[in-house]
Amino acid sequence: MSEPLIVAVDGGGTQCRAAIFDAAGRQLGHAAGAFANLATDFEASRRHLTEVIEAAYRNAGIPEQTDRSDIAVMGIAGTEIGDHATRLEGVLDFATVRVMSDRDIAVAGILGDRNGSLAQIGTGSFFARQHDGHLSYAGGWGLTLGDECSGAWLGRELLRAVLMTHDGLLERSPLAEQIASDFGKGPDDIVMFAATAKPADFARLAPILFKAQESGDSLASHVLAHAVTDLERILTAMSMDGGDLFITGGVGVRYKPMLAETFRNALKDPAGDSLSGAFTIGSRLLKG
């Protein structure tokens, strides 16, 4: 029997990633695939996760997972809700499998055992603070009730602002005109889109928002100013205004230059990421 491998998986609202490691930490293969948020769509997420794991094995030169001695550590969005983690563990064929929140593997990879704070902001968002072994979380409750400042949150707030320009409550701008045009019939199509859109659908508007803000668009500046105010409020409430601060995720890094000086001075570059955190947890399981 060959030595067990460690399969690390990071699943989020826009994409999932998988990497195959040997026990020494050498990455043998990797792959990326479609979204994996168990609370948004369990079956589609399960399928995407299976596909990306199989692709990572192929990338490692292992066409088929013939040896079931491997360990899988999966940090997946939406596992905090209901029995999603248990259900997913029950359909995966590994010697050992641990399904946990994507925030758990992010903290393991970025904070490790160190004191510090983390704001992970991608399609969704969550916040964490670790001090002398005590770890606390905030956010991560999904777009309907949370995911503050995330890509999905920004997309939704942009559409809300466009509707406000239509009603004469905000000044129109080139971005408002562009969004209204993209949705064809304007307000009606925006409302119909929002009624069925998933977080990833809203998040696709975030790059458009940032690009418009860079060109000086007034509506984009209004939405992002609101986002930065909310973000700084959360960072302060989480005591992130002291000690090292890590802001990660495709959307999170865009906020860094917009923050007040006290937060910018605390920013550090992470040494690891979610996949390295999943490997760390898997390595502990391997050693028993």
**Among 39-48, 158-167, 170-179, 189-198, the least confident range:** 39-48
What pLDDT is recorded for position 28?
A: 93
pLDDT of 93 over the 90 cut: no
At 73, the pLDDT band (50, 70, 90 cuts) reads very high
**Is residue 264 scored above 80 in pLDDT?**
yes
- Segment 84-109 shows an average pLDDT of 86
Three-state secondary-structure class, residue 198: coil
Give the global pTM: 0.83
Residue 187's Cβ-count burial label (10 Å; 0-12, 13-18, 19+) is middle
Find, among 142, 111, 145, 144, the residue nearest to 125 by Cα: 142
Q: What are phi and psi of 265, to 5 degrees?
A: -70, -25
Residue 111 burial class via C-beta count within 10 angstroms: exposed 0-12, middle 13-18, buried 19 and up: buried
Q: Considering only CA atoms, which of 17, 3, 7 is closest in space to residue 281? A: 7
Question: How far apart, in whole angstroms, are the C-alpha atoms of residue 101 and residue 2?
Answer: 29
CB 123 within 8 A of CB 102: no
CA 188-193-196 angle, to 5 degrees, is 130
Per-residue tokens: 94: 């590994």
pLDDT of residue 234: 93
Evaluate whether 90 touches 46 at the Cβ level (below 8 Å): no
**pLDDT given at position 161:** 96
Phi, psi of 32 (to 5 degrees): -130, 150
Tens-place pLDDT, residues 133-166: 788 888 888 888 889 999 999 999 999 999 999 9
* Mean pLDDT value across residues 245-253: 93
Q: Where are the alpha helices (DSSP H) in the chain?
A: 42-59, 84-90, 102-110, 151-166, 174-182, 187-196, 199-203, 206-214, 218-237, 252-255, 261-266, 274-287
CA–CA gap between residue 247 and residue 264 (Å, rounded): 10
How distant, in Å, are the alpha carbons of 72, 208, 227, 264 from that of 251? Answer: 28, 12, 11, 16
Write out pLDDT tens, residues 11-50.
887 789 999 999 899 999 999 999 888 887 888 888 999 9
In whole angstroms, give the CA distance from residue 197 to residue 143: 11
Mean pLDDT for all residues in the chain: 89
The structural architecture, per CATH, of the domain 6-100 is 2-Layer Sandwich (3.30)
Q: Looking at the structure, give the CATH architecture of the domain made up of residues 114-269.
A: 2-Layer Sandwich (3.30)
Asked if residues 267 and 246 have their Cβ atoms less than 8 Å apart, the reply is yes
3-state secondary structure 92-113: CCCCEEEEECHHHHHHHHHCCC
Is 91 in a helix, a strand, or coil?
coil
Instruction: Provide CATH 3.30.420.40 ranges for the chain.
Output: 6-100, 114-269
Closest CA to 29 of 54, 2, 48, 10: 54
* Percentage of residues in the chain having pLDDT higher than 70: 95
Whole-angstrom Cα distance, residue 73 to residue 10? Answer: 9
